[in-house]
Structure 1
Amino acid sequence: MDKDQFPIFLVATPGFENALHREAGELGFSDPRPVFGGVEISGGWSEVWRANLELRGAGRVLVRIDSFRASHLAQLDKRTRAVAWGDVLRKDIPVRVEASCRKSKIYHSGAAAERVEKAIAQELGAPIESGAQVRVLVRIENDLCTISVDTSGEGLHRRGHKLEVNKAPMRETTAALLLRECGYSGSEPVVDPMCGSGTFVIEAAEMALGLKPGRARGFAFEHLARFNPDMWAAMKAQSGSVTSPFFLCGSDRDAGAIRMSLANAERAGVSSATRFAQTPIDELEPPEGPAGLVIVNPPYGLRIGDRKKLYPLYGALGTVMRTRFSGWRLGMVTADPALARATGLTFEKPGGSIDNNGVRITLYKTGILQ
């Protein structure tokens, strides 16, 4: 592994590889390339830290430390012992190894993981612990073994402030990319009329205020060999402005959702730029000021018997958009095209579906509402 430049893999929500690719390019990461499951970039450790700190749409940031062919366990053992583990791992920090095997002569993932664990323990001296924060990933596919280190630790959707969630929370990473796909860059108001625990509104407010998504949490890379605390502190210190010329607004008919949203916004440090109110959809009014984006993640009615009950809700949303939100545009996600049609709105041709916690959803976008 080159100590100065090496492959970095940004994990994407399935279906959002191209959106993450665009974000990485706009943030200046070197030569981003979309591939199945994510985006490949290259860089050094400072780029790894910056990716964890700044990328809103990445699920994890993996550093690829070696790759070689191995068709049996003895070969895997020999070649993993030649990996420069000390360039990445620390001998005083516990490590855990997770392996996967696909279409390979080495087919037992547990045995593969044990060989790599033994190599790390004996060649580096690092302790192996099942609950260790530092995670080495071994993927053997078509007899090609790729070894990576997860530099994120907890998934990057865990920003560190959304401690209260409703029954079907959307991940922050997914919400951020949906906002981007709707053309949102932080320079206009946002309204979410079914805000749940406030994810869309809080993400939009952070973008408007220039707050970096990873500013309030820890990362696994802080326990790796090349970590520089002073450089990391200086990088984090560059986050954020203090005011926004407009408010980011959320509403919901459920009082508990509003309570959660207010608490989450307070922990995120965006209370000054956000407003939440208990309001049913048929009473929704646009906030004062310029038009912007309405973005909403309504219920999908996936349980038997629920779907028919949702047609009036989607119909009411469409009526409110047509009659009160002239000049605004709408972005709506749903798992059911028939529910989207129930709004009576004209949508642009939708893109492909994406995975939202195991449910395939699609983003429906309007133009400027007249």
Structure 2
Amino acid sequence: MSTDDLEIFFVAPPGLEPHLADEARAAGFATPVVSPGGVTTRGNWSEVWRANLTLRGATRVLVRLGEFRAFHMAQLDKRARKFPWGNVLRADVPIRVEAVCKRSKIYHHKGAAQRVERAISETLGAPISKDAPLVIKVRIDDNLVTISLDSSGESLHKRGHKTATGKAPMRENLAALFLRAAGYDGGEPILDPMCGSGTFLIEAAEMSVGLLPGRSRGFAFEKLASFDAELFGALKLSNTPAFSEDVRFFGSDRNAGAIANSQKNAESAGVAGICQFTEASISDIVRPDTDPGLIIVNPPYGARIGNKKLLFALYGTMGKVFQDRFKGWRVAIITSDGGLAKATGLPFQQPGPPVDHGGTKVKLYQTAPLP
């Protein structure tokens, strides 16, 4: 197993893989390749650390450690015992193994996971725990056993500084990829007129000033034998955010609790100085005194709301307000219902692919600058 040329897989929300690949390319990761469910690149362990620390769109970062063939449990056991676990794992750190079996003679995934766990514990001495933060992922497909490691631990959308959320919050990595899909590059004003807990605005503000998404949290890779705390500390310090004085991120919501949550979250993330949150209904929003930018909004779309007629009226009002007051601004709306998007009367381009958001398939509808 070469530690200078690891295969690294960035897990993405399905449907948004190309946008994660764009982010990885812009961040200088080697030749990112899109595949279902994520993006593959190659690099050494410091690239694994850098991906966890800097990629906004990734759900987690997996590292392929190696592979071998196994046609039955005894062979799996024997080959797992010969695997160089000590190159990566520490004998004093608990681990757990998750297995998936497809089209293979070994078809019992729980039994396969237990065999690999026993092999690690008896050859390396590492304790096995069902709550262990370090997870080895075993995939047995067509009798080929692929061993990977989840280097992230908790899902990367958990940035470590969000304290207050409302109902059905947008995950941070999903918000970051939708912003990228809508053409946001960190340089323009953003308005979210139904801002909830402020996720879109805080992600956009952090992107604009260069705050690293993983700066406030820990990662599973810090428990590995391959981890170098000094080098990782230097990687963190090499990033210098560039704050501006201009307020360019505007959030409103008719719910006072949502505004309080947004303000609290922006303060916790360190971007409250460039964000402005106002209690207002959609019909009362005011165009900010800035250059035109991007309106991005995740309105209610009926999955949990009974009266669809009220929603059609809401979307109609929203579309009229944007067309009357926001000439020159682009609009991006995330919704599960094409009929509701149409009810805005906005000149939407072809919508993006369906993306899972909390069990509902949503699409991104966006316009060119409004005439």
Structure 1 length normalisation: TM-score?
Answer: 0.98
Give the Cα–Cα distance (whole angstroms) in 2 for the partners of residues 47 and 141 of structure 1: 27
Aligned 1:76-155 pairs, distance under 5 A? 76-155=76-155
Q: In the alignment, does 2:289 pair up with 1:288?
A: yes
How far the C-alpha of 1:13 sits from its partner, in A, is 0.3
The amino acid that maps onto 1:338 is G
Aligned 1:44-59 pairs, distance under 5 A? 44-59=44-59
Q: Confirm or deny: 8 A CA contact 1:95 1:129 kept in the other structure.
A: yes
Q: Which moved more, 1:301-310 or 1:320-329?
A: 301-310
Residue equivalent to 1:224: 224
Residue equivalent to 2:328: 327
Q: Confirm or deny: 8 A CA contact 2:247 2:273 kept in the other structure.
A: no
Q: Confirm or deny: 8 A CA contact 2:247 2:276 kept in the other structure.
A: no
How far the C-alpha of 1:70 sits from its partner, in A, is 1.5
Q: In the alignment, does 2:166 pair up with 1:166?
A: yes
- 5+ residue gaps, structure 1, are none
How far the C-alpha of 1:283 sits from its partner, in A, is 0.4
Aligned 1:202-221 pairs, distance under 5 A? 202-221=202-221
**Aligned partner of residue 65 in structure 1, secondary structure:** strand
Residue equivalent to 2:27: 27
Give the Cα–Cα distance (whole angstroms) in 1 for the partners of residues 84 and 234 of structure 2: 29
The amino acid that maps onto 2:289 is E
Aligned 1:333-352 pairs, distance under 5 A? 333-352=334-353
Give the Cα–Cα distance (whole angstroms) in 2 for the partners of residues 304 and 313 of structure 1: 13
**Aligned partner of residue 98 in structure 2, secondary structure:** strand
Give the Cα–Cα distance (whole angstroms) in 1 for the partners of residues 282 and 93 of structure 2: 52
Give the Cα–Cα distance (whole angstroms) in 1 for the partners of residues 237 and 205 of structure 2: 19
Over the residues paired in the alignment, what is the CA RMSD in angstroms? 1.1
Give the Cα–Cα distance (whole angstroms) in 2 for the partners of residues 299 and 218 of structure 1: 33
How far the C-alpha of 1:301 sits from its partner, in A, is 0.4
Q: Confirm or deny: 8 A CA contact 2:97 2:138 kept in the other structure.
A: yes
TM-superposition CA deviations, 1:319-359 (whole Å, max 9, x none): 11100001110010100000000000111111211111221
Residue equivalent to 2:368: 367
How far the C-alpha of 1:235 sits from its partner, in A, is 1.0
Residue equivalent to 1:315: 316
How far the C-alpha of 1:304 sits from its partner, in A, is 6.7
Structure 2 length normalisation: TM-score?
Answer: 0.98
Residue equivalent to 1:248: 249
Identity of aligned residues (%): 54
Q: Which moved more, 1:334-343 or 1:272-281?
A: 272-281
Q: Confirm or deny: 8 A CA contact 1:188 1:246 kept in the other structure.
A: no
Give the Cα–Cα distance (whole angstroms) in 2 for the partners of residues 54 and 284 of structure 1: 34
TM-superposition CA deviations, 1:302-322 (whole Å, max 9, x none): 147332220111011101110
- 5+ residue gaps, structure 2, are none
Give the Cα–Cα distance (whole angstroms) in 1 for the partners of residues 224 and 288 of structure 2: 47
Pick closer, same or farther for the CA change 1:306–1:82 going to 2, 3 Å.
Answer: farther
Residue equivalent to 1:64: 64
How far the C-alpha of 1:158 sits from its partner, in A, is 0.2
**Aligned partner of residue 135 in structure 1, secondary structure:** strand
Q: Confirm or deny: 8 A CA contact 2:190 2:204 kept in the other structure.
A: yes
The amino acid that maps onto 1:93 is V
The amino acid that maps onto 2:230 is D
**Aligned partner of residue 273 in structure 2, secondary structure:** helix
TM-superposition CA deviations, 1:34-79 (whole Å, max 9, x none): 1111011000011000000110000000111011222211111111
The amino acid that maps onto 1:277 is T
Pick closer, same or farther for the CA change 1:288–1:90 going to 2, 3 Å.
Answer: same
TM-superposition CA deviations, 1:185-233 (whole Å, max 9, x none): 1101000000011000000000111101011100000000111111111
Give the Cα–Cα distance (whole angstroms) in 2 for the partners of residues 242 and 352 of structure 1: 34
Aligned length: 370
